[in-house]
Amino acid sequence: MKAYLAKALIAAVKGADGKVPDWYTIFREGWINIEGEGKALVDAKAAAEVIAYFKRRGNDVVIDYEHQTLTGQKAPAAGWIKDFRFREGEGIQARIEWTDAEELIAQGGYRYFSPVFFVRKADNRVVSIHSVALTNAPKINHLTPLLAKLGAEFGKEATAMEFLKKLAAKLGITGDADEATVETALDAVIAKNTQLEAAAQTPQVKEVVAKEVLTALDLKETDTASTVVASIHALKQSINGAVSRAEFDALQKELRDRDATAIVASATADGKITPDQKDWAMEYAQRDLEGFKVFAAKAPVVIPHIALPRQDKMPDAAVDAAVLTVAKLMGNTPDDIKKFGSVGSD
């Protein structure tokens, strides 16, 4: 019965994932009392020293039985410390991988642990850990029993029958359950744990899309990963095909220049501006095209339009002083008048 209850306790401690807790507090934060040897300080600085020493050595720290590692006797490992960490308000903790000690602890064979450590004389801080022993006579005062560290809920005062009832309740068995019923239910739990462990080792492909990603892409939770990937590609495509700000500004300027040139040319042809006003007119039209259109519509004609006679060739006599003056104002030469003089307008 006792061996079976130990088996049941370990199963109850492991829980659904089939594992015992990984981290255990080796030293409580603050001053610890060492029977007959004074005190030692455990704080963040002490933890940093312990961790630095452990990493420099590069070896797992052994957990043995009754300090057999120190006595030179045969010293089988009850477990191995794989790492250390410091938790404010708790102390220095160790991540332990047990060998076969869990059942022995559950049976009550060992209740406490006893670390072998070094203290720096300058400030009494713990600075390194040599080994840890399972023992029932620790030198450090006020330790928490290992059984409690394993998460057991039942004290040493609980009888076998009381434990059986509590275990039956945890397994969902109602009424007065005998040992055989509890054992059958417990075996089912252990088998389930075994299946879960096996399943955890089997690679599985599952489509999981973060809710934040779906929201950003304006998708629904029912959309698949394929839809998400397609949406991202579409977004990249739209970004790659977009016009940059500089390109957009350049295009806008080109359009303004084109429109300004056209409206200024029209105003010039209508005699609304003189040739020496052309630069001013272009700057005005580029800056405010609509405003210049209003100006061109309301401005009076400052250069009269002169219709030249229709003929194939204008005789030299026809190029009189008045024609030359108007031609000059319009930016034309006498040769232009001779060449194009046959083209007139009403």
Mean pLDDT is highest, among 18-27, 83-92, 132-141, 244-253, for 83-92
Q: Which of 9-13, 34-38, 71-75, 109-113 has the lowest mean pLDDT?
A: 9-13
The Cα 168–Cα 177 span in angstroms is 7
CB 179 within 8 A of CB 164: yes
Contact residues for 41 (Cβ-Cβ < 8 A; gap 6+): 30, 31, 32, 123, 124, 125, 126
DSSP state of 145: P
Q: Is a pLDDT exceeding 50 seen at residue 270?
A: yes
Angstrom distance (rounded) from CA 92 to CA 226: 47
Does 138 have pLDDT greater than 80? no
288 vs 291: CA distance, rounded Å? 5
Highest-confidence range of 54-58, 107-111, 271-275, by mean pLDDT?
54-58
Q: Give the pair of three-digit tokens for residue 236.
A: 């990249």
For residue 177, give both structure tokens: 């359950």
d(Cα 92, Cα 42) in Å, to the nearest integer?
8
pLDDT at 58: 93
Phi-psi region of 67 (alpha: psi -120 to 50; beta: other; left: phi over 0): left
Candidate from 146-155, 200-209, 231-240 with smallest mean pLDDT: 146-155
Max mean pLDDT among 55-69, 152-166, 192-206 falls in: 55-69
Ramachandran angles phi, psi of 279, nearest 5°:
-65, -45
Please name every residue paired with 81 in a beta bridge, in sequence order, or none if there are none: 61, 96
How many Å apart are CA 26 and CA 132, to the nearest integer? 9
Using DSSP's 3-state secondary structure scheme, residue 164 falls into helix
Mean pLDDT across 183-194:
77
- Is 60 exceeded by the pLDDT of residue 211? yes
For 317-336, the pLDDT digits (tens) are 455 666 677 666 666 777 76
pTM of the model: 0.39
**pLDDT, tens digit (0-9, with 9 covering 90-100), for 31-69:** 988 777 788 899 999 999 999 999 999 999 998 888 777
Higher pLDDT, 55 or 169: 55
* pLDDT (0 to 100) of residue 339: 65
Q: What is the Cα–Cα distance from 280 to 296, expressed in whole angstroms?
A: 13
Per-position DSSP letters for 218-252, written without gaps between them:
T--TT--HHHHHHHHHHHHHHHHTSPPHHHHHHHH
More confident residue, 137 or 204: 137
